[in-house]
Amino acid sequence: MLPERHVRLFRNGRNQAVRIPREFELPGDEAIMRQEGERLVIEPLKPKRNLLEILATLEPIEEEFPEIDDPPVSDEDIF
């Protein structure tokens, strides 16, 4: 059975709050909260990865790309 602990609810300004005991601490400093019936579920927010981090994990492309005839745009096409 999962550990459980009696906690007290309190007010923080206009919000209701609860202190999370050490054994239930979540990583990071943000979380997602949702309600399922009468239960509140709090899950850690996965860290966002920027595009450079994602690109660094990709394998290089081995195939050659075909040449594409792409002449410069003329002034007439711009206006």
What is the per-residue pLDDT across 4-52, written as a single tens digit (0 to 9) for each? 889 999 999 999 999 999 999 999 889 999 999 999 999 999 888 889 9
What's the pLDDT at 16? 95
Residue 77 reports pLDDT greater than 70: no
What's the pLDDT at 67? 87
Helix boundaries (H) for 1-79 = 51-56, 75-78
Residue 35 backbone zone (phi > 0: left; psi -120 to 50: alpha; other: beta): beta
Q: How far, in Å, CA of 47 to CA of 27, rounded?
A: 10
- The Cα-based distances of 13 to 4, 17, 20, 33, 49 in angstroms read 27, 9, 18, 19, 33
- Residue 79 confidence class, pLDDT cut points 50, 70, 90: low
Write out the two tokens for 22.
């050490």
